[in-house]
Amino acid sequence: MTQPLYILSACAISAQHTYDATRFLDPVLSVNDGKLFMIDADYARYISPVAIRRMSRMLKAGITAGMKCLEDAGVKTPDGIIIGSARGSVTDMQNFLKDMINMKEEALTPTAFIQSTYNSVNGWLAMMTKCTSYNQTYVHRGFSLELCLLDAQLMLAETTEKKYLLAGGFDELTDEYYIIRDKIGYYKKQMPESQALLNHYDTPGSIGGEGASFFTVTNDADKASCAIHGLQMLLQPTSEALQAAMADMLSQNGLKNEDIDVLVCGMNGDSRNHFLVDPLIATCADKTTIATFKQFSGEYDTASGFGLWLVNYLFVHSCIPTETVYKQGTSDEINNVLLCNITISGDATLVLVKRNSLAG
């Protein structure tokens, strides 16, 4: 990356108390049926009663997370909105398809169709913030969120003016969608308690999850607590390719393995990912703490958004929640954090985040 992407604020609505970060993992919310659904937030705070009545849960969560993120950053109208979603609003799509079948393609209601599109959240956020500038949606499975961050970084690199962008990702879980993904081997056959997911690395599959994670990103270093300095997306890499990409990213930033204070690892409990995760963990220095998050978020295409929210949390609170610690390192500082996400299909993403030393 040519210039850092500063994170000014972050907001996530997930299966844990992330919307109110003061309650994060207090208590840990766990399920035993493999479906980690989001906790509803205070949607009515941002969405009018007339609009909210026809919105699906995901639409409400996406809009609310985006609006709160901007509010926390003190930004009323962003200079652009860039959002990633692998599946869009699944509930609305299901309702529309069911309607098509039941009504034999006659007399179909418009609402579910209108709101099933991938860019519904973008559109609503643009209207609510009166943002008439750049508005982009990335639909690219496990890379959807990372492509948003890359696009934001490229956009901010083109200007010397201070600009503020809303970037984020969301994906939804429904009972029907769970059944479909289960048939293609996404989920474990013997479902463990979700918070114990990583103790079951000997069987294939993971657990289902959903969530919306948003970030106000900027080229203004003044108030951000951290910044993204490196971003890599790897399509079904070998273990060697993943480690080489990691070494390359660290080297470009003048860092070595032992400079990483925390590795936030998006391992998902799938035995088929062992060959990527185990060597990665083995290369970590003694000082590096390894933190994990998918036992709290569940697995979904933009789950790395939960991971990046956690990374921002570490910098803002200067502590690592003990519940997330997979391996305790010797370092008591949090200056360099590497987020590594592994998807069910074996793709990997790396995001290097450093403490912002320029914060005013």
Q: Does residue 111 bind another protein (CB under 8 A)?
A: yes
Cβ 51 to another protein shortest distance, Å: 9
Q: Which is nearer to another protein, 113 or 178 (CB)?
A: 113
Locate 160 and state its tokens. Answer: 């010397």
Q: Which of residues 203-222 bind another protein (CB under 8 A)?
A: none
Cβ 254 to another protein shortest distance, Å: 54
Return all residues near 121 (Cβ < 8 A) that are at least 6 apart.
Answer: 58, 59, 62, 63, 66, 83, 85, 89, 170, 212
Contact indicator for 260, 288 with CB cutoff of 8 Å: yes
* Count of residues that bind another protein according to CB under 8 A: 11
Q: Which is nearer to another protein, 106 or 158 (CB)?
A: 106
**Per-residue CA distances from 256 to 259, 283, 320 (Å):** 5, 11, 21
Q: Which is nearer to another protein, 112 or 351 (CB)?
A: 112
DSSP 22-62: GGTTSSPP--SSSEEPPPP--GGGTS-HHHHTT--HHHHHH
Cβ 103 to another protein shortest distance, Å: 7
By rule CB under 8 A, what string of x and - marks binding of each residue 10-49 to another protein?
Answer: ----------------------------------------
Locate 173 and state its tokens. Answer: 């879980």
The amino acid present at 106, given as its one-letter code, is E
Q: Which of residues 231-270 bind another protein (CB under 8 A)?
A: none
Of 110, 132, 161, 184, the one binding another protein (CB under 8 A) is: 110
Cβ 352 to another protein shortest distance, Å: 44
Q: Which is nearer to another protein, 109 or 271 (CB)?
A: 109
Cβ 334 to another protein shortest distance, Å: 44
By rule CB under 8 A, what string of x and - marks binding of each residue 54-93 to another protein?
Answer: x---------------------------------------
Q: Which is nearer to another protein, 113 or 326 (CB)?
A: 113
Q: Does residue 109 bind another protein (CB under 8 A)?
A: yes
Pairing of strands 208-209, 35-36: parallel
Q: Which residues of 308-344 are buried (b: 16+ CB within 10 A; e: fewer)?
A: bbbbbbbbeeeebbebbebeebebeebbbbbbbbbbb
Locate 128 and state its tokens. Answer: 């609510």
Q: Applying CB under 8 A, which part among 35-43, 69-77, 103-111, 198-206 lies near another protein?
A: 103-111
Q: Which is nearer to another protein, 50 or 282 (CB)?
A: 50
Q: Applying CB under 8 A, which part among 102-110, 162-170, 182-190, 305-313 lies near another protein?
A: 102-110
Distance, in Å, from the CA atom of 138 to the CA atom of 128, rounded to the nearest integer, reads 20
- Name the strand (E) or helix (H) holding 13: strand 5-13
Closest CA to 260 of 250, 248, 268, 273: 250
Q: Does residue 107 bind another protein (CB under 8 A)?
A: yes
- Name the strand (E) or helix (H) holding 81: strand 80-84
Distance, in Å, from the CA atom of 225 to the CA atom of 359, rounded to the nearest integer, reads 7
Closest CA to 63 of 39, 87, 46: 46
Q: Applying CB under 8 A, which part among 101-109, 131-139, 225-233, 240-248 lies near another protein?
A: 101-109
Q: Which is nearer to another protein, 47 or 165 (CB)?
A: 47
Q: Which is nearer to another protein, 115 or 331 (CB)?
A: 115
273 CB burial (10 A radius; 0-12, 13-18, 19+): buried
Q: Which is nearer to another protein, 53 or 130 (CB)?
A: 53
Q: Which is nearer to another protein, 69 or 112 (CB)?
A: 112
Q: Which of residues 42-61 bind another protein (CB under 8 A)?
A: 50, 53-54
**Per-residue CA distances from 296 to 50, 82, 156, 208 (Å):** 33, 25, 32, 10
* List of residues contacting another protein (CB under 8 A): 50, 53-54, 103, 106-111, 114
